[in-house]
Amino acid sequence: MKFPISDHIRQVHFPPISEVKGWLAQRQPDDLPLIDLCQAIPDYPPAPELVEHLRGMLDDPLLSRYAPDEGLLEVREALCIAYARKYGAHINPSQLCLTIGASQAFWLAMVTLCRAGDEVIVQLPCYFDHPMALDALGISPVYAPFDPEHGGLPDPDTIDQLITPRTRGILLVTPSNPSGAVTPPGLIHRLHALAEKHNIALVLDETYSDFIPGGPRPHELFTLPGWGGHFIHLMSFGKTFALTGYRAGMLAASETFIHHALKIQDTMAVCQPRITQHAVKFGVENLDAWIAANREMMARRHDLFRDGFSQAGNPFTLVTSGPFFAWVRHPFTGRSGREVAKALVHEAGILTLPGEVFGPGLSGYLRLAFGNIREETIPEAIERFRGFRL
């Protein structure tokens, strides 16, 4: 290749999951059966009634056509009703844009909010796709440090000190990917007040919010008058409804913000596929009980994993955990997370992600997506960690 590649793209990290799954090619036939704690994907299929509903729509020629850029009105109306149940939200369809997963919602938000040279404060440990996107766009991620003593929760005073005239937003994933930590509502409201103070945006990625134990209201921001003034919400329904391949995401913001984001939507993806939209509509209208049952199942997996992993004798330390994820410190001083993760694949048959892909200074950690595996597999996974030596 002789033509140049953009300098922004050259500095972007290669997709970590693709990198890590590439290590599997070196596994041997007599290796231990693989326990995959890498990519966060529900191990169960979509609800049977959802599958049957979509099957009955396949003969409709409209299903194969474009939808409006922002999504079908009846789908967005159904989501407004669902958000009134979940958040007590004062929200209307013009404040929603359906997207190709939460990743595209993030791109829409950043391209609409920022220009090259701007800054976004990113709480460590962070979801790796976010700094990858910011780097590609020439937007500078400014990292709020990880504090293991407080479970990686954000500190508003620290974030306040990081804000500069170039800051356009505060980015937070809650429940956290990678740590599972759930940011309490009161802390979210303090961050929102900080965003208001500096006239910037609080951007919340709430992809895993339907897995918060007990199903509490994650926050009250949607109930505030004019909530879209300093709040941008990103959501994925792929994990909620076990539809990750359908790429079911959403951006919620003020009507003005959505109006401008649709300029990018039209040039980037045009619209979310109609079949995905109908899946989301059916899900939010009919599957609350199914979601609750899966939330309870994931809570059992979390409790089983946390209690077993934390017993004496494990060389790995559980730092924090929550819905879907555990954030673990490895014991091998001087070894990177990548070195440890590779060794775990080949010697223990465990696939994880190294801490350094979640931000600078985190090579002493690993992310474990225990939500991938069933309860009967969790004790075996724990034993492999307990017996691992490097």
Would you say residue 169 has pLDDT above 90? yes
Query: What is the pLDDT at residue 285?
Result: 98
Q: Is residue 155 part of a domain?
A: yes
Count of other CB atoms within 10 angstroms of residue 189: 16
**Do 212 and 331 fall into the same domain?**
no
Would you say residue 295 has pLDDT above 80? yes
**Do 60 and 84 fall into the same domain?**
yes
Query: What is the pLDDT at residue 171?
Result: 98
Higher-confidence residue: 380 or 3? Answer: 380
Q: Is residue 1 part of a domain?
A: no
**For residue 32, what is the domain's CATH number?**
3.90.1150.10
pLDDT band at 77 (very low <50, low <70, confident <90, very high): very high
Look up residue 233 and give its two tokens. Answer: 């919400």
**Do 205 and 147 fall into the same domain?**
yes
What is the helix, strand, coil percentage profile of the chain, to 5? Answer: 45, 15, 40
Would you say residue 191 has pLDDT above 80? yes
The rounded distance, in Å, linking the Cα atoms of 275 and 80 is: 19
Residue with tokens 């990743």: 103
- Which of 287, 318, 339 represents a domain boundary (last residue)? 287
- Which of 272, 287, 302 represents a domain boundary (last residue)? 287
**Do 77 and 88 fall into the same domain?**
yes
Would you say residue 132 has pLDDT above 80? yes
Would you say residue 1 has pLDDT above 70? no
Residue range 98-112: average pLDDT? 97
Digit-coded pLDDT (tens) for 265-292: 999 999 999 999 999 999 999 999 999 9
**Do 202 and 248 fall into the same domain?**
yes
**Do 23 and 128 fall into the same domain?**
no
Q: Is residue 2 part of a domain?
A: no
Query: What is the pLDDT at residue 26?
Result: 84
Q: Is residue 301 part of a domain?
A: yes
The rounded distance, in Å, linking the Cα atoms of 305 and 350 is: 15
Residue range 61-66: average pLDDT? 92
pLDDT band at 372 (very low <50, low <70, confident <90, very high): confident
**Do 258 and 299 fall into the same domain?**
no
Digit-coded pLDDT (tens) for 4-19: 887 778 888 888 889 8
Residue range 354-361: average pLDDT? 96
**Do 263 and 158 fall into the same domain?**
yes
Cβ-based neighbours of 288, under 8 Å, separated by 6 or more: 85
Residue range 155-177: average pLDDT? 97
Q: Is residue 99 part of a domain?
A: yes
Percent above pLDDT 90 for the chain: 86
**For residue 162, what is the domain's CATH number?**
3.40.640.10
Overall number of domains in the chain: 2
- Which of 287, 322, 355 represents a domain boundary (last residue)? 287
**Do 67 and 39 fall into the same domain?**
no
The rounded distance, in Å, linking the Cα atoms of 115 and 138 is: 8
Would you say residue 356 has pLDDT above 80? yes
R_g of the chain, CA atoms, integer Å: 21
Contact 332, 347 (CB under 8 A): no
Q: Is residue 148 part of a domain?
A: yes
Domain that holds residue 264: 48-287
Q: Is residue 139 part of a domain?
A: yes
Would you say residue 208 has pLDDT above 90? yes
Contact 191, 167 (CB under 8 A): no
Q: Can you point out the beta strands (E) in 35-95?
A: 35-36
Residue range 128-142: average pLDDT? 95
Contact 344, 379 (CB under 8 A): no
Residue range 300-304: average pLDDT? 95
pLDDT band at 25 (very low <50, low <70, confident <90, very high): confident
Query: Mean pLDDT of all residues in the chain?
Result: 94
**Do 263 and 301 fall into the same domain?**
no
Contact 376, 46 (CB under 8 A): no
Would you say residue 23 has pLDDT above 80? yes
**Do 149 and 196 fall into the same domain?**
yes
**Do 27 and 120 fall into the same domain?**
no
Digit-coded pLDDT (tens) for 209-258: 999 998 889 999 999 999 999 999 999 999 999 999 999 999 999 999 99
